[in-house]
Amino acid sequence: MRRAFYPGRFQPVHLGHVKAVRWLLERVDEVIVGVTAAQYSYTPENPFTAGERIEMLRAAFREEWGRLFVVPLDNVPDNSLWLSYVASRVPSFEFVATGNEFVKLLARERGYEVLELPLWERDRLQGRVVRELMASGGEWRELVPPGVAEYLERIGAPERVRKIYLSERVKTPEY
């Protein structure tokens, strides 16, 4: 059984994540999706709770669900201990899948094989862009899977993100 650990904050789930998971499922049998920074919510960087992010993942991966483990993981203060902590919380894995250079470094130093994820349309397919579009009243729906857009509307996500950005005085760029 070939398993990859794929970490991300999923704030929110977007079409880049969908591409990444499908790409991975062509190469491994199962993917452990680590919902990181699980202890954070209602902040500009992390507006959604871990539970909400898990609901988004299910909406995005209904067909693939049987081959995924989705595990919420708090961030830990000491980076050198992060992957040991992760290994104690999730099913066993041999690969770490990421496009993030820092995660690659930590993984290689712990002896994991890294699956380097290609990035799709990175200028627009990133969580920060989706959040900023929500905050500024822009068109964010086309950047996420339809089921995720529906879910985000249902929980009032654009309104939440706008209020968080306003209360934290986060500067939103003009789109």
Ligand X SMILES: NC(=O)c1ccc[n+]([C@@H]2O[C@H](COP(=O)(O)O)[C@@H](O)[C@H]2O)c1
The dihedral formed by the CA atoms of 153, 159, 162 and 168, expressed in degrees to the nearest 10 = -120
Which part of the chain contacts ligand X (CB under 6 A), choosing from 6-14, 139-147, 151-159, 164-172? 6-14
**What amino acid occupies position 100?**
N
Closer of 45 and 163 to ligand X (Cβ):
45
Q: Which sign does the torsion angle of CA 170, 130, 71, 110 carry?
A: negative
Burial 72-87 (b: 16+ CB within 10 A, else e): bbeeeeeeeebbeebe
* Contact assessment for residue 90 and residue 69, using Cβ atoms and an 8 Å cutoff: yes
Closer residue to ligand ATP, CB minimum distance, 89 or 123:
123
Using the rule CB under 6 A, is 112 a contact of ligand X?
no
Nearer to ligand X, 76 or 163 (CB): 76
Q: Does 14 bind ligand X (CB under 6 A)?
A: no
Contact (CB, 8 A) for 114 and 104: yes
Q: Coil, helix or strand for 121?
A: coil
- What are 30's strand-pairing partners? 3
Number of residues counted as binding ligand ATP (CB under 6 A): 20
By the rule CB under 6 A, 79 interacts with ligand X: yes
Residues 92-151 interacting with ligand ATP (rule: CB under 6 A): 98-100, 117, 119-122, 125-128
Chain contacts with ligand X (rule: CB under 6 A):
7-9, 36-37, 75-76, 79, 82, 98, 100, 103
Chain contacts with ligand ATP (rule: CB under 6 A):
8-11, 16-17, 19-20, 98-100, 117, 119-122, 125-128
